[in-house]
Amino acid sequence: MATDPALRQGHDSTDLVLRDGSPTGPVLIALTSVGPALLTPLLLIVPTLVVAFWMALAGAQASTVCVVVGVIAGLEYLIGWPAVAFSRARSILRVEFAPAGVPASLRLVRTAGPDDWLPVGSLREVRLTHEVVEPYEGDPKPAVSTLVLELGLREGRERLDPLPFGGDPQQLADALEALLGPAGVVVELRTERSKRSRPVPNSGWTSGGSASVGSAGG
């Protein structure tokens, strides 16, 4: 049944593989989130600097300002760490449809582990958005192709972040239609194309010459 590389058919299920990898435990998820969580204080650096600026204007000593900024950055990190870990834990690795031939149930397999099995009828829609950013004329960089998957479930929608995609989106949509169409699931494919913006040349002064306006010789 599976006719697309993203759909992998096994003995018990057909899997729509979105990301390589297997579910991991909460400890490993927390440890792998330590590094990315460091970005949280950087993303919030503007309000932190505003606080430091107003403290300096109020006459606070430099050591006091540094301590307060350090405390704020630490709190931002402590908030960002569990947020990043939670986001990673909820990330979907694959969608399993069972049995393999004519699926009657499905489940989402996340980084933290699989969800409970749901009847395939709980899936109303699969929406694929193929986004292509094409190079401008003379651009040495190739086109960038990504795929956004959105699952319309009865209890809500699951929308994944754009994933790098080098396959045929129509082939994937047709394979999903063949797999899920008998259960009444609507498969929709939409393609969005845009052109990469040409970089704006530096309009500042360049070395090697200058121009003057309105000069007169004596």
Tokens encoding 29: 């998820």
Instruction: List 9's β-bridge partners, or say none.
Output: 14
* pLDDT at residue number 202: 64
129 found inside a domain:
yes
* pLDDT at residue number 178: 92
Cβ–Cβ < 8 Å for 7, 15: yes
130, containing H or E segment: strand 123-134
Strands 14-17, 92-98: parallel, antiparallel or unpaired by DSSP? antiparallel
109 found inside a domain:
yes
Q: Give pLDDT tens digits for 7-27.
A: 888 888 999 998 887 888 888
Is residue 11 domain-shared with residue 106, that is, in the same domain?
yes
- Please tell me the distance from the alpha carbon of residue 117 to that of residue 112, in angstroms, as a whole number: 15
- Please tell me the distance from the alpha carbon of residue 102 to that of residue 62, in angstroms, as a whole number: 69
pLDDT band at 216 (very low <50, low <70, confident <90, very high): very low
Is residue 12 domain-shared with residue 65, that is, in the same domain?
no
Number of domains comprising the chain: 2
- The answer to pTM > 0.85 is no
215 found inside a domain:
no
Is residue 178 domain-shared with residue 73, that is, in the same domain?
no
| Residue 131, pLDDT above cutoff 90 | yes
Is residue 171 domain-shared with residue 114, that is, in the same domain?
yes
If one compares 177 and 138, the residue with the highest pLDDT of the two is 177
194, containing H or E segment: strand 186-195
Domain residue limits at 60 = 28-89
Average pLDDT of the segment spanning 192-197: 90
* pLDDT at residue number 4: 74
Instruction: List 193's β-bridge partners, or say none.
Output: 132
| Residue 49, pLDDT above cutoff 50 | yes
| Residue 211, pLDDT above cutoff 60 | no
* pLDDT at residue number 209: 45
Is residue 101 domain-shared with residue 182, that is, in the same domain?
yes
Is residue 158 domain-shared with residue 84, that is, in the same domain?
no
Is residue 120 domain-shared with residue 186, that is, in the same domain?
yes
Is residue 147 domain-shared with residue 114, that is, in the same domain?
yes
143 found inside a domain:
yes
Average pLDDT of the segment spanning 44-69: 89
96 found inside a domain:
yes
- Please tell me the distance from the alpha carbon of residue 104 to that of residue 121, in angstroms, as a whole number: 8
* pLDDT at residue number 217: 43
1 found inside a domain:
no
64 found inside a domain:
yes
204 found inside a domain:
no
Is residue 126 domain-shared with residue 83, that is, in the same domain?
no
